[in-house]
Amino acid sequence: MPTSLTLTRARLGSGGPLGGLRITDGRITALGPDVTGGDGPVRDLDGRTVLPGLWDAHVHLGQWAKVRHQLDLAGAASAREAAEAVRAYAAATAGAGAGAGPVVGYGFRDGLWPDTPEKSLLDAVCPDRAVALVSGDLHAAWFNSAGLTLVGRAGHPTGLLREGDAFRAVSALPDVPSGVLDGWVADACGAAAARGVCGVVDFHIADNVGDWTRRAARARPGVRVDAAVYPPYLDEVLARGLRTGDALPGTGGLVRIGPLKLFTDGSLNTRTALCRDPYPGLEGTPGEYGVEETPYEELVRLMRRAAEHGIMPAVHAIGDRANTRALDAFAEVGRAGRIEHAQLLSPDDVARFAALGVTAGVQPAHATDDRDVADRHWAGRTGRAFAYGDLLAAGAQLEFGSDAPVSPLDPWIGIAAAVHRTADERPAWHPEQRMAVGDALTASARGRAALAVGDAADLVVVDVDPLKADAATLRAMPVHATLTDGRFTHGPV
């Protein structure tokens, strides 16, 4: 394989000049108007734009790979409509022997439904086959009676489980063989590369270090992967002396140790995000302010233990009270790290991200997906929800992700949402929180604002300069090619 590749007649960055770019042994070694050829192949890009390669800084890759093969419930407008989709799917899949396995669906969002998910609805449409439906935010699961029995929850009064109960029930479902899942994950990585993705932070709730070691032994990963660690696997990682950023042996440097994932609260759609104000209609109930997932003292203990051994903490926090607690914990531990989601913020907390060195790992597509849910359940507070403009103005570092499967693993959807704050014909939702195109691209490229000699040759080539793209074109950006470590992972070879 040649060690040198030259890209010519390329626009070098969004709004940049025309020129060439040379790659040698996986790194950019020359850049500018006079770069025209080299020892290896030359690719004429015909004026297309070359950008730093994109990352998805928050994805549940195993779950994303699975839901691509499951019943899609994202469009269901009510519990009854979702149940009818189950009826049709069960009938369509029963003939090929699938009836022995559960009907598994994904993507329902009940936060705005006029009716309530109940096991009786699913029992009526699918009485003899287990049904397990996972919510679009991953924080709730809806089962029929047979499904509850399958996961050891027979007799549950409603069939709708939330937070830890839901996570445990879903994990008890029969899983696909590892070889099948690895194939699905490889396909998902290929699809991500086709959208310009060079790397992901994989927050799949599993033994990610072990899983990615196995996958890399079978085939070269299609993207770079930072494999997140969960508390049950922390001791093993520490025993091996691994730290965040270390390459996993046998992965060619493409898989590295990621952060330790911890939870402070739940989610908005499930009304379990921990907030300072009660949720409408839940006043006076035990869950009126949401759910505290990890007590503060335990959060600090785990963060400190990880940080002292070189593992960066990444703390899930969605509600404003949860974000305050997460920031307080970072201040007490005295180490930098990440807050994942940072959806609702108290005004006094915005500046603390930069002051404490805490990166905000955010998912701009959630702002457009959840605007109606937020307007209902966070009424009067949405001016400080998904407050990317405020965070950027305060000096915080933002990194974009999708939280796939919560939103699709496609960075251009998030970039367009951050820039335009709408995904339909409606006006921008809180346009004061918009980001400039350049800032959104930087947040999608892990802080790489421009091409530079010496950088890894992780690149995306697009047909339209993002600075000249309208909202629809930006969202559906045509990607001509993607290179990771100087190799084409999508496009011409």
Question: Domain-by-domain residue ranges, the chain?
Answer: 1-53+450-493, 69-171, 184-449
Please tell me the class of the 69-171 domain: alpha beta
Q: What one-letter code names the amino acid at 363?
A: Q
3-state secondary structure the chain: CCCEEEEEEEEECCCCCEEEEEEECCEEEEEECCCCCCCCCEEECCCCEEEECEEEEEECHHHHHHHCCCEECCCCCCHHHHHHHHHHHHHHHHHHCHHHCCEEEEEECHHHCCCCCCHHHHHHHCCCCCEEEEECCCCEEEECHHHHHHCCCCCCCCCEEEHHHHHHHHHCCCCCCHHHHHHHHHHHHHHHHCCCEEEEEECCCCCHHHHHHHHHHHCCCCCEEEEEECHHHHHHHHHCCCCCCCECCCCCCCEEEEEEEEECCCCCCCCCCCCCCCCCCCCCCCCCCCCCCCCHHHHHHHHHHHHHCCCCEEEEECCHHHHHHHHHHHHHHCCCEEEEECCECCHHHHHHHHHHCEEEEECHHHHHHCHHHHHHHCCCCHHHECCHHHHHHCCCCEEECCCECCCCCCHHHHHHHHHHCCCCCCCCCCHHHCCCHHHHHHHHCCCCCCCCCCCECCEEEECCCHHHCCHHHHHCCCEEEEEECCEEEECCC
According to the model, what pLDDT value does residue 184 have?
Answer: 96
User: Rounded to two decimals, what is the model's pTM?
Assistant: 0.92
Q: What is the spatial distance between Cα 61 and Cα 40, in angstroms, rounded to a whole number?
A: 35
Q: Is there a shared CATH topology between the 1-53+450-493 domain and the 69-171 domain?
A: no
Quick one: fold of 1-53+450-493? Urease, subunit C; domain 1 (2.30.40)
Q: What is the spatial distance between Cα 1 and Cα 127, in angstroms, rounded to a whole number?
A: 57
According to the model, what pLDDT value does residue 2 have?
Answer: 52
Is the alpha carbon torsion for 292, 298, 304, 306 positive or negative?
negative
Q: Quick check: 400 and 415 in contact, CB under 8 A?
A: yes
Q: What one-letter code names the amino acid at 20?
A: G
Closest CA to 385 of 323, 315, 314: 323
Q: What is the spatial distance between Cα 10 and Cα 33, in angstroms, rounded to a whole number?
A: 9
State the first-to-last Cα distance of the chain, in angstroms, to the nearest integer.
12
Altogether, the residues listed in the chain come to a count of: 493
In tens digits, the chain (493 residues) has pLDDT values of 457 999 999 999 999 999 999 999 999 999 999 998 778 899 999 999 999 999 999 999 999 999 999 999 999 999 999 999 999 999 999 865 444 589 999 999 998 899 999 999 999 999 999 999 999 888 999 999 999 999 999 999 999 999 999 999 999 999 899 999 999 999 999 999 999 999 999 999 999 999 999 999 999 999 999 999 999 999 999 999 999 999 999 999 999 999 999 999 999 999 999 999 999 999 999 999 999 999 999 999 999 999 999 999 999 999 999 999 999 999 999 999 999 999 999 999 999 999 999 999 999 999 999 999 999 999 999 999 999 999 999 999 999 999 999 999 999 999 999 999 999 999 999 999 999 999 999 999 999 999 999 999 999 999 999 999 999 999 999 999 999 999 999 997 5
Q: What one-letter code names the amino acid at 364?
A: P
Q: What is the spatial distance between Cα 354 and Cα 183, in angstroms, rounded to a whole number?
A: 40
Quick one: fold of 184-449? TIM Barrel (3.20.20)
Q: Quick check: 226 and 201 in contact, CB under 8 A?
A: yes
Q: Quick check: 467 and 437 in contact, CB under 8 A?
A: yes
CA atoms within 13 A on the CB side of 156: 25
